[in-house]
Homo-oligomer: A and B are copies of this chain.
Amino acid sequence: MTDLLKTLRKTLLMGPGPSMVSPAVYRAIAQPTIGHLDPAFIGLMDAVQKDLRLLLNTKNSLTLPISGTGSAGMETCFVNLIEHGDRVLILSNGVFGTRMAEVAGRLGAEVDSMEFEWGTPVDTQQLAAHLQKNKYDLIAVVHAETSTGVLNPVEEIGKLVRENGALYLVDSVTGLGGIPLHLDKWGVDAFYSGTQKCLSCPPGLSPVSFSDRAAEKLQTRETKVPNWYLDLNLICGYWAGESGANNSKRAYHHTAPINMNYALYAALREIVNEGTDAVFDRHLQAHRQLVEGLEARGLAMLVSNPHRLPMLNAVKIPQGVDEAAVRSALLSEHGIEIGAGLGPLAGKIWRIGLMGHTARPENVERLLAALDSAV
């Protein structure tokens, strides 16, 4: 039988994730597996937590990667913080806001959704008015909406959430590593992300972070977390602490995905070594170069200028163009992957990712040239 791994073609990943992975991260993921209680692995766990806190600008001790993909991070935040009947407000302007409402609803929360047009940001004036009349236990928003390319005003929303007394939950699956994050300054209580976007690591882990307020809610729940695998009370018995070479404090919960954590470690080190400001600037420059190139070709962006994400570019599909055929030709003839629209935007936009290692001028040039021949 054919070895399918030998038929894999190296692809330029310019979709909504996964993004390009750097050689150092590929080397890392293939390092020899060691035990999940080996002091050497525990040292690496500490280093991962330290680098995550650096990128998130937080002092939260509860900062660690969940053993699942970004959606497992979403599930983790809701299942740990919500109990039956809790009042939850979801600020929704894309697929991932909708998903949040679905996750919270399944856990028995009373969910209100404020819907904003896809492609536009959350309207903080509308939110302020709504919060005058409504109290919530938890309010959640997506920082960087991967389905539309919109940047939501997370800092401004945070102030309103704090006045309301609710816990503040922020999804930044697509933001982490590509735009600044200031969890403590913004008053974020619970945060989750993924590895396969601007961290430029293969998919498989989900960094999460909980503030002391969120950790307190976790400890004062009336009911057990109805999800053993994602119960942070238990997971912290394995991850918490900064014990260095001392593994006696680490209680086995589940076997951590060892090699994925090697990859995350290397990906975080690459960002820290390049410098976060330089990394964010590289994303911005690539984004500007792309938008300029697209507009020069008569293509238009979905999102208006001040609300665009640098790492996720939603491009309107021109009249009469078979969008699926273009994506298919880009992949098969040019070895470039871009993304389709989701939900109401299916068939209406392409999603071009400039995430992490992908956000480089030569990649933008290669895509623009390929588009010239494919459209």
Contacts and interface: CB of A to CB of B under 8 A. Distances in A.
A256 interface: yes
A85 interface: no
A258 interface: yes
Given A32-B11, A34-B13, A228 B21 contact: no
A134 B154 CA distance: 54
B35 A13 contact: yes
Contacts of A121: none
Interface in A345-370: none
Contact of A28 (B5, B227, B263, B331): B5
Interface string A1-39: 101110111110101011011000011111111111010
Contacts of A17: 255
Given A8-B32, A72-B68, A202-B33, A224 B106 contact: yes
B31 A5 contact: yes
A153 interface: no
Contacts of A44: 4-5
Nearest to A10: B32
Contacts of A70: 254-255
A72 B231 CA distance: 12
Interface of A: 1, 3-5, 7-11, 13, 15, 17-18, 20-21, 26-36, 38, 40, 43-44, 47, 67-72, 74-75, 79, 99, 102-103, 106-108, 194, 196, 202-204, 224-230, 252-260, 262-263, 265-266, 269, 331, 337, 342
- Chain B CB count within 10 A is highest, among A10, A71, A224, A269, for A71
Contacts of A263: 259
Contacts of A32: 8, 10-11, 21, 26
A315 to B, nearest CB: 18
Contacts of A35: 11, 13, 15, 18, 337
Which interface residue of A30, A229, A257, A263 has the most chain B CB atoms within 10 A? A229
A19 B226 CA distance: 31
A84 to B, nearest CB: 10
Contacts of A18: 33-36, 255, 258
Nearest to A252: B342
B228 A75 contact: yes
6 contacts: A4-B47, A9-B34, A21-B32, A27-B30, A35-B337, A79-B227
Given A18-B36, A29-B259, 8 more contacts: A5-B44, A11-B38, A21-B32, A29-B30, A68-B229, A71-B254, A75-B229, A106-B228
A9 B103 contact: no
A147 to B, nearest CB: 10
B102 A67 contact: no
A43 B252 CA distance: 36
Q: Which 10 A/B pairs are nearest by Cβ-Cβ distance?
A: A204-B257, A30-B30, A71-B254, A202-B259, A75-B229, A10-B32, A203-B255, A26-B30, A103-B228, A68-B68
Nearest to A18: B33
A226 B230 CA distance: 13
A213 B21 CA distance: 42
